[in-house]
Amino acid sequence: MVIDLRSDTVTRPTSSMRDAMGSAELGDDVFGDDPTVTRLEELAAGMLGKEAGMFVPSGTQSNLCALLTHCGRGDEYLVGQTAHAYLFEGGGGAVLGSVQPQPLEQEADGTLDFEKLAALVKPDDFHYARSRLLCLENTTWGKVLPLEYLETVRPFAEKYGLSLHLDGARIFNAAVVSGVPASKVAAPFDSVSLCLSKGLGAPVGSVLVASEDFIKEGKRFRKMLGGGMRQSGLLAAAGIYALENHVERLAEDHANARTLAEGLAEIPGVTVDPVQTNMVFVDVCGDTIHLAERMEASGVLMAGYTGKKIRLVTHLDISAKNIEKVLCEFREALS
């Protein structure tokens, strides 16, 4: 059996989740007729403390719909240099919305520094794009934005006239680690995107949550981008199951990641970044490609990242026993 640590997107729906999908009540959601999609949207919005939600096929489309709703042509958004919504979404805001990104380096803890941000906000002058939106990511590269930091986000944004979007693909990992409801992590933001298809274990889908008015406008962009789906309650049912059953258990993924990190750190020549959630970044100071091939031959898949570090991600389909085996294989491969 293959142990797949490349990403938390690789999970397969559990049999209970498949049962929930199989018995979902369906309708045409473009007509607003799918009761299961509506229930998912209300559930997600409620959990994140927002008025309304919109089910979309992917996190990329969710962020893009948010970006297009917040920003118009000639506007810009401030965003982390290695944030998904800047680096890994094909430049969608620029291509499809004429929205200019203003990226900046994140701090070591994953936050964006307010002084650096303030210096990047453009004055009201026709030479510049209009600074419209600040986009944060939580968790970001496995790191959880501190609650004290989140409390200062809204006052900053108000001072500079920015609206706030959170790429909360893994917001529930952040909430579980911080020991607070996800609504508290979401509170400062006007819009929040969450992924059902990561650690929560659903096969497909994200939900964008915000005010009623924002989601009404967001649905226009979803349709434009080809994200209006029909009997999508089949997929939404998996999302409901995930939100009702797979949130608390994220703590197990975090514990497995810690065990993995501790075991790896004991191997000579291996350096491991501090672990907060379900991602372990490992520097083996050697040939990672060769190592990845060796590990693959023994049934362990992992992602070489940025050419230097290896990324190992725990999830629903990884058990504590799997972690033991992974550590054995690493010790052997690196000995």
Ligand X SMILES: *Cc1c(COP(=O)(O)O)cnc(C)c1O
- Binding of residue 60 to ligand X (CB under 6 A): yes
Segment interacting with ligand X, rule: CB under 6 A, options 53-61, 103-111, 156-164, 305-313:
53-61
Q: What is residue 260's three-state secondary structure? A: helix
- Nearer Cβ to ligand X, position 71 or 194? 194
Sheet strand arrangement including 309-313: 271-272, 279-283, 309-313, 303-305
- In whole angstroms, the minimum distance from the beta carbon of 277 to ligand X comes to 12
Pair of tokens at residue 164: 């706030």
Note whether 278 binds ligand X by CB under 6 A: no
Q: Is the dihedral of CA 255, 257, 260, 262 positive or negative?
A: negative
Taking CB positions, which residue lies at the least distance from ligand X?
Answer: 59
Cβ-based nearer residue to ligand X, 84 or 219:
84
Using rule CB under 6 A, residue 222 touches ligand X: no
Size of the site for ligand X (CB under 6 A): 11
Question: Cα 66 to chain center, whole Å?
Answer: 14
Binder to ligand X among 26, 33, 49, 58 (CB under 6 A)? 58
How many whole angstroms separate alpha carbon 233 and alpha carbon 27? 7
Packing angle, helices 171-178 and 250-265, rounded to 10: 80
Of 160-219, binders to ligand X (CB under 6 A) are 167, 169, 195, 197, 206
Q: Looking at 17-25, 58-66, 113-121, 292-300, which segment touches ligand X (CB under 6 A)? A: 58-66
CB of 287 to ligand X, least distance (A): 27
Q: CA–CA separation, 96 vs 200, rounded Å?
A: 30
Nearest distance in Å: CB 318, ligand X: 17
d(CA 329, CA 227): 42
Virtual torsion, Cα 122, 153, 61, 28, nearest 10 deg: -130
Stretch that binds ligand X, among 27-35, 37-45, 55-63, 256-264 (CB under 6 A): 55-63
From CA 227, how far away is CA 320, in angstroms rounded? 37
The footprint of ligand X (CB under 6 A) covers 58-60, 63, 84, 137, 167, 169, 195, 197, 206
